[in-house]
Amino acid sequence: MSDILTIAMPKGRIFEEAAELLREAGYQLPQEFDDSRKLIIDVEEENFRFILAKPMDVPTYVEHGVADLGIAGKDVMLEEERDVYELLDLKISACYLAVAGLPNTKLNEIAPRIATKYPNVAAAYFREQGSQVEIIKLNGSIEIAPIIGLTDRIVDIVSTGKTLVENGLVEYEKIVDITSRLIVNPVSYRMKDKRISDLVDRVNVVVRAVQK
């Protein structure tokens, strides 16, 4: 019973790639896995329990130890700064964080405002650039902010750049490359060392093979 590994998986964009990766690593995941609406899925053959979570919440579950492992984007890791082990770069769901805005515009000098889903990352980035900005946190459709005049710039994820183009925005600066990471609770990393190391090794083999 204590051998069960609980894995927090991000719903949405990353999920399919992450599930594929586990399958390639030789784990038998049922087909219903991909289109289920359940939030918790037990896979008895592998002694796994999956928690399907909002991507932003994955590191929270792992830090508190209700999930032993998780798959989380580096963007989320940077924003949340949770006390968890970041063991593997899975090299999936590659994208990057960038500063964008309407073409030929400048940051307002008196009250430079940034809209973002990542207030900590955005504030830290501009601080390093030597400017203090005002952050406005939005929960989605960040691209709207400059168009309707809420802020001069946004900080958001860019994968293909299509969304920016379609909304008439241009990218100004790239902040950091993002891929998904395998993260582990520090206690689980010790108490379930064998199973976790085995999983890490198997997944690592797949990741390396894909790279080549």
Partner 1 sequence: MSSLFMFEKPLGMRDSLPEIYETKYIVKQKMDKEIKQWGYQFIETPTLEYYETVGAASAILDQQLFKLLDQQGHTLVLRPDMTAPIARLAASKLLNEDLPLRLAYNASVFRAQQREGGRPAEFEQIGVEYIGDKTVSADGEGIALMISLLEKAGVQKYQLSVGHIGFVQAFFEQILGTKERADALTKYLYEKNYVGYRQHVDNLSLSSIDKQRLHDFLKLRGGEEIIPLAYKLIENGSGTQAIDDLQQLWDILLDYGVENQVRFDLTLVSHMSYYTGILYEAYAEGVGFPIGSGGRYDLLLAKFGKNTGATGFAIRIDHLLEALGSLARKSDIHCILFSGDRRKEAFELAKQKRADGFKVITQDINGVGNVDACTKQYDEITLLVGKAGMEVVK
Binding-site member from 12, 131, 186, 208 for partner 1 (CB under 8 A): 186
- Whether the CB-CB separation of 8 and 62 falls below 8 Å is answered with yes
The smaller minimum CB distance to partner 1, of residues 60 and 116, is found at: 60
Binding-site member from 46, 57, 63, 143 for partner 1 (CB under 8 A): 63
- Whether the CB-CB separation of 153 and 125 falls below 8 Å is answered with no
Stretch that binds partner 1, among 12-20, 129-137, 145-153, 185-193 (CB under 8 A): 185-193
Paired with 9 in beta bridges are 52
- Strand (E) or helix (H) holding 100: strand 95-101
- Helices of type H across the chain: 15-24, 32-35, 58-64, 74-80, 119-128, 144-147, 162-166, 186-191, 193-211
The smaller minimum CB distance to partner 1, of residues 18 and 107, is found at: 18
Stretch that binds partner 1, among 3-11, 84-92, 153-161, 165-173 (CB under 8 A): 84-92
* Closest-CA residue to 107 (of 127, 133, 130, 129): 133
Binding-site member from 42, 134, 193, 201 for partner 1 (CB under 8 A): 193
Q: How far is the CB of 81 from partner 1 (least distance, A)?
A: 9
Residues that bind partner 1 (CB under 8 A): 2, 63-66, 83-89, 181, 185-187, 190-191, 193
